[in-house]
Chain A
Amino acid sequence: MLSSIPEFPSSSIAPAGSAENADTALRTEDLSLWYGARQALDRVDLAIPARRITALIGPSGCGKSSLLRCLNRLNDEIAECRVDGRVLIGDTDAYAKDTLVHDLRRRIGMVFQRPNPFPLSIHDNVAYGLRLLGIRHRRELDERIEAALKSATLWDEVAARLDDSAFSLSLGQQQRLVIARALAVEPEILMLDEPASALDPVSTLRFEELLHELAQRYTLLLVTHNMQQAARVSDFTAFMHQGCLIEFGDTDALFTNPRERRTEDFITGRYG
Chain B
Amino acid sequence: MTRRRADEAGTWVLAGAVALCLAAMLGLLGLLAGAGFAPLWPATISELHLHDGSTLLGEIVAVYDGAEALRISETDRIGGAYRRVPTADIAAQWQPADAIVLTLTDGRRLFGRGHAAEESTLLASASRPAEVLDIVRPNALGTFARFGVFARNLGRFFGTRPAASNLDGGVLPALIGTLTLVLVMSVIVMPLGIATAVYLHQRRGLGVRFVRGAINMLAGVPSIVYGVLGLGLFVHGLGADIDRWFYADRLPMPTFGSGGLLWAALTLALLTLPVVVVSVEEGLARIPVSLPEGSLALGATRDETLWHLLLPAARPALLTGLILAIARAAGAVAPLMLVGVVKLAPALPIDGSFPYLHPSRQFMHLGFVVYDAALASSDAIRGVSRAYACAALLVGVVIALNLSAILLRNRLRDRYRALET
A touching B, CB within 8 angstroms: yes
Stretch at the interface among A16-24, A47-55, A114-122, A205-213: A114-122
The docked-state distance in angstroms from the alpha carbon of A236 to that of B293 is: 27
The docked-state distance in angstroms from the alpha carbon of A264 to that of B296 is: 37
The yes or no answer to A102 lying at the interface (CB within 8 A) is yes
Q: If A112-B294, A132-B304 touch, does A119 touch B313 (CB 8 Å cutoff)? A: yes
Residues from 79 to 93 in A contacting B, C-beta threshold 8 Å: 79
Report B387-421 CB contacts with A as 1/0, cut-off 8 Å.
Answer: 00000000000000000000000000001001101
Check B298–A128 contact: CB distance below 8 A: yes
Query: Which B residues are CB-close (under 8 A) to A167?
Result: 418
The yes or no answer to A72 lying at the interface (CB within 8 A) is yes
Max chain B CB contacts within 10 Å: which of A74, A110, A118? A118
The yes or no answer to A252 lying at the interface (CB within 8 A) is no
Stretch at the interface among A2-10, A177-185, A219-227, A254-262: A177-185
Query: Which B residues are CB-close (under 8 A) to A185?
Result: 298-299
The yes or no answer to B204 lying at the interface (CB within 8 A) is yes
Contact of B291 among A72, A74, A116, A133 (CB under 8 A): A116
Query: Which B residues are CB-close (under 8 A) to A181?
Result: 294, 298
The yes or no answer to A123 lying at the interface (CB within 8 A) is no
A96 to B: closest C-beta gap in Å: 17
The docked-state distance in angstroms from the alpha carbon of A181 to that of B295 is: 10
A57 to B: closest C-beta gap in Å: 22
Query: Which B residues are CB-close (under 8 A) to A156?
Result: none
A197 to B: closest C-beta gap in Å: 10
Residues from 279 to 300 in B contacting A, C-beta threshold 8 Å: 288, 290-291, 293-300
A129 to B: closest C-beta gap in Å: 4
Check A105–B421 contact: CB distance below 8 A: no
Check B291–A79 contact: CB distance below 8 A: no
Query: Which A residues are CB-close (under 8 A) to B11?
Result: none
Check A116–B299 contact: CB distance below 8 A: no
The docked-state distance in angstroms from the alpha carbon of A105 to that of B199 is: 24
Check B299–A132 contact: CB distance below 8 A: yes
The docked-state distance in angstroms from the alpha carbon of A114 to that of B421 is: 8
The yes or no answer to B308 lying at the interface (CB within 8 A) is yes
Query: Which A residues are CB-close (under 8 A) to B300?
Result: 102, 128-129, 132
B300 to A: closest C-beta gap in Å: 5
Query: Which A residues are CB-close (under 8 A) to B415?
Result: 119
The docked-state distance in angstroms from the alpha carbon of A131 to that of B309 is: 12
Check A116–B298 contact: CB distance below 8 A: no
Report B299-310 CB contacts with A as 1/0, cut-off 8 Å.
Answer: 111101000110
Check B299–A105 contact: CB distance below 8 A: yes
Q: What total count of A-B pairs have CB within 8 Å? A: 72
Closest to A129 in B: B298
B312 to A: closest C-beta gap in Å: 8
Report B301-341 CB contacts with A as 1/0, cut-off 8 Å.
Answer: 11010001100110000000000000000000000000000
Q: If A79-B204, A114-B421, A119-B415 touch, does A74 touch B297 (CB 8 Å cutoff)? A: yes
The docked-state distance in angstroms from the alpha carbon of A79 to that of B299 is: 19
Query: Which B residues are CB-close (under 8 A) to A107?
Result: 299
Query: Which B residues are CB-close (under 8 A) to A79?
Result: 204
Max chain A CB contacts within 10 Å: which of B297, B313, B419? B297
Q: If A79-B204, A114-B421, A132-B304 touch, does A106 touch B294 (CB 8 Å cutoff)? A: no
Query: Which B residues are CB-close (under 8 A) to A109?
Result: 297-298
Check A106–B291 contact: CB distance below 8 A: no
Check B295–A128 contact: CB distance below 8 A: yes
Max chain B CB contacts within 10 Å: which of A119, A120, A167? A119
The docked-state distance in angstroms from the alpha carbon of A120 to that of B294 is: 13
The docked-state distance in angstroms from the alpha carbon of A182 to that of B309 is: 16
Query: Which A residues are CB-close (under 8 A) to B418?
Result: 167
Closest to B309 in A: A118
Query: Which A residues are CB-close (under 8 A) to B313?
Result: 118-119
Max chain A CB contacts within 10 Å: which of B295, B298, B415? B298
The docked-state distance in angstroms from the alpha carbon of A119 to that of B291 is: 9
The docked-state distance in angstroms from the alpha carbon of A116 to that of B419 is: 7
Further 18 A-B residue pairs, CB within 8 A, beyond A112-B294, A132-B300:
A74-B296, A74-B297, A77-B293, A105-B298, A108-B297, A112-B293, A112-B297, A113-B421, A114-B421, A116-B290, A116-B293, A118-B295, A118-B313, A120-B312, A128-B300, A131-B308, A132-B299, A133-B299
Give 15 CB contacts A-B under 8 Å. A74-B293, A74-B297, A77-B293, A77-B296, A79-B204, A102-B299, A102-B304, A106-B299, A107-B299, A118-B291, A118-B294, A128-B298, A128-B308, A128-B309, A181-B298
